[in-house]
Amino acid sequence: MRLVAKLKSLQRDWVSWVPTLWLGVFFLIPFLVVLKISLSQATIAMPPYLPLFDWVESALEIRLDFGNYLFLIDDPLYGAAYLESVRIAFVSTVITLLIGYPMAYMIATAREPRRTLLLLLVILPFWTSFLLRVYAWIAILKTNGLLNGLLMSLGLISEPLVILQTDLAVYIGIAYTYLPFMVLPLYASLSKLDRTLLEASEDLGATPWISFVTVTLPLTIPGVIAGSLLVFVPAIGEFVIPALLGGNDTLMIGKVLWNEFFANRDWPIASAVAIIMLFVIVGPLMWLNRINSKTEEATS
Amino acid sequence: MRLSRYVFPVMASLGFGFLYAPILILVIYSFNESKLVTVWGGFSTRWYVELFQDPQILDAAKLSLQIAASSATIALVLGVAAAMTLVRFRWFRGRTWLAGMVAAPLVMPEVITGLSLLLLFVALDNWIGWPSGRGVTTIVLAHATFGMAFVAVIVQARLRDMDRTLEEAAMDLGARPTTVFLTVTLPTIAPALVASWLLAFTLSLDDLVIASFVSGPGSSTLPMVVFSKVRLGISPDINALATLMILIVGLGGVFGFWQMRRSTHRRSA
């Protein structure tokens, strides 16, 4: 009887179980598969790796091969790529924050219907192709491109600046494409700000800048952190932007993984690169999760 | 307050300029007769003509639209179920798992998602023979998975804001939960459903990295074709393609703004 009751409740819960199982199969289990293959040996076959578990004379033989990880540690290229990715992602996040904060501030202080219009203007580019928006910057940043043409015709520079295929182009590309992710959480926390606190601080004689630094900024820190993490975490593994705007020497781990997989066809090494990348982002990811569940509690 | 009067508006305007200048440039140069970016060779629509005569691009566009429509539909169903679970079914035992997994695809670097799904598909093919080979099916499954995360986020927000008294009234009048959901909840969150389906559709249409990992021979999506062209340098027919996409999205945006204004007017009236 208890089994029947259980089955009934299972049937009632299918609305919840279907998405949970889907994510389990297509999101969680794949990581275990990556982990497994990162511990296997590469070979020339299809799929190009040796099995981890094998039945040899009716005994299970498990061959764990940490060689891929040792290889990653041994070759300085990989460590440098991880560090470079974190550095580039960090610099880009700071730039995105500096551009995004005033925009979020302007939107939050605007009246309707201007506020909705500005909000829409921030979201709209996100709906157009990411790939094509990155592509747009090639024409602008090229040595004989539009930016150099403009600056030279204004007489500001006499020699064209080399921006495309440098780290600067990658920063610009990341800041440009991830800007909505920064502005929206900032706007959310700025629009919740209690205006009377600012009035109080001004009544007490604080200049606008002091009010901003001592009242507005500290109260919107959750938005700053949420927005920054939403830019920082995916930027670490970015592939398209360094591939199109960066140079050959722009070493980002997403590009390294891509090349290991597509050019070298070394699936085990690509998997090991992915596992270590997961370790790099798991901290920020959990931080973000905690902020999300906190705001969820606050709103419900 | 001087800060909000001068400094921030100027910086913010620069920010909006930064956001729109590249898009504007794409559109203008799609009508450029010359192949060079820095040279204006006069107004021309030749790149549009070339775009519509390129069978590779047309085939890829057709395939991408099919994949986007099916994956967005799956994502919508799964995402709404996930959102309902997270907002309404607090008793559900797998809730913490679901909450953690549903948010993660939003920020997971695409190379990791792509690689891990590919390895899963290869392993599944070896164990149970499904999905056999890689192609449209695997791309749809992959896109539905990250699409549902976006759907869940949008629908969750709408469900939280929603006035629950309507649902309670329906239940007090004796409607069964399914009836309440179909006749009260769904119509109320309909705008969010439309928005999230469109977002899942756009994201699928746009994805390069994940599709490159999980696609097979003969299933090149539009972004994959665009990427291989763009890697070789600027090509003006891609500008024409971008302009068409911007036009569609822009019209959608204007329509959305008009809808939002209408609904706020109605609410305040």
CB B84 within 8 A of CB A250: no
Nearest-by-Cβ selection for A129 from B101, B119, B206: B206
So what's the ipTM on this one?
Answer: 0.88
Give residue B215's domain range: 61-268
Residues of B in contact with A209 (CB under 8 A): 3
Confirm or reject contact between A66 and chain B (CB < 8 A). no
> How far out from the chain centre does Cα A84 lie?
15
Q: Is the pLDDT of residue A8 over 80?
A: no
Q: Is position B39 within any domain?
A: no
- d(CA B209, CA B222) in angstroms, rounded, equals 12
Q: Considering only residues B212 and A146, tell me which one the structure prediction assigns the higher pLDDT.
A: B212
Q: Is position B49 within any domain?
A: no
Domain count, chain B: 1
B16 and A140 in contact by Cβ < 8 A? Answer: no
If you average pLDDT over residues B53-63, what whole number do you get?
Answer: 93
pTM of the model: 0.89
Sign of CA pseudo-dihedral A199, A204, A206, A210: negative
If you average pLDDT over residues A127-151, what whole number do you get?
Answer: 88
Q: What is the predicted pLDDT for the residue at A9?
A: 62
Q: Which residues pair with A62 in a beta bridge?
A: A53
Confirm or reject contact between A18 and chain B (CB < 8 A). yes
B256 and A299 in contact by Cβ < 8 A? Answer: no
Q: Is position B54 within any domain?
A: no
Q: What is the predicted pLDDT for the residue at B151?
A: 94
Q: Is position B46 within any domain?
A: no
Confirm or reject contact between A283 and chain B (CB < 8 A). no
Q: Where are the alpha helices (DSSP H) in chain B?
A: 2, 8-29, 46-52, 55-87, 95-107, 110-128, 136-161, 165-172, 177-180, 186-206, 209-214, 222-230, 236-268
Tokens of residue A88, six digits: 């580039």
Q: Is position B52 within any domain?
A: no
* CATH 3.30.450.20, applies to A75-299: no
Length of chain B: 269
Q: Is the pLDDT of residue A159 over 90?
A: no
* Residue A249 C-alpha, separation from nearest chain B C-alpha, in angstroms: 16
* Residue A244 C-alpha, separation from nearest chain B C-alpha, in angstroms: 7
Pair type for strands A59-62 and A53-56: antiparallel
* Residue B47 C-alpha, separation from nearest chain A C-alpha, in angstroms: 16
If you average pLDDT over residues A255-277, what whole number do you get?
Answer: 93
Q: Is position B53 within any domain?
A: no
What are the φ/ψ torsions at residue B108 (nearest 5 degrees)? -60, 125
If you average pLDDT over residues B123-132, what whole number do you get?
Answer: 86
Cis omega before residue A47 (within 30°)?
yes
Q: Is position B47 within any domain?
A: no
Selection from A142-151, A171-180, A261-270, B32-41 with the highest mean pLDDT: A171-180
B253 and A120 in contact by Cβ < 8 A? Answer: yes
- d(CA B84, CA A15) in angstroms, rounded, equals 8
* Residue B58 C-alpha, separation from nearest chain A C-alpha, in angstroms: 17
Q: Is the pLDDT of residue B259 over 50?
A: yes
How confident is the prediction for chain A on average, in pLDDT?
Answer: 86
Side-chain-facing half-sphere of B180: CA atoms under 13 Å = 14
Nearest-by-Cβ selection for A27 from B2, B145, B260: B145
Chain A, nearest residue to B147 by Cα: A23
Confirm or reject contact between A297 and chain B (CB < 8 A). no
B22 and A140 in contact by Cβ < 8 A? Answer: yes
Q: What is the predicted pLDDT for the residue at A81?
A: 94
Band of the pLDDT at A174, cuts 50, 70, 90?
very high
Q: What is the predicted pLDDT for the residue at B121?
A: 94
Q: Is the pLDDT of residue A214 over 50?
A: yes
Q: Is position B31 within any domain?
A: no
Q: Which of A16, A97, A126 shows the shortest CA–CA distance to B106? A: A126
Tokens of residue B42, six digits: 């006069």
Kindly state the DSSP code that residue B43 receives in the 8-state scheme.
Answer: B
CB A246 within 8 A of CB A169: yes
Q: What is the predicted pLDDT for the residue at A299?
A: 59
If you average pLDDT over residues A130-158, what whole number do you get?
Answer: 88
CATH for B198? 1.10.3720.10
Q: What is the predicted pLDDT for the residue at B263?
A: 66
Nearest-by-Cβ selection for A102 from B15, B109, B206: B15
Q: What is the predicted pLDDT for the residue at B266?
A: 60
Chain A, nearest residue to B27 by Cα: A136
Confirm or reject contact between A24 and chain B (CB < 8 A). yes
Residue corresponding to tokens 């439309």: B194
B81 and A16 in contact by Cβ < 8 A? Answer: yes
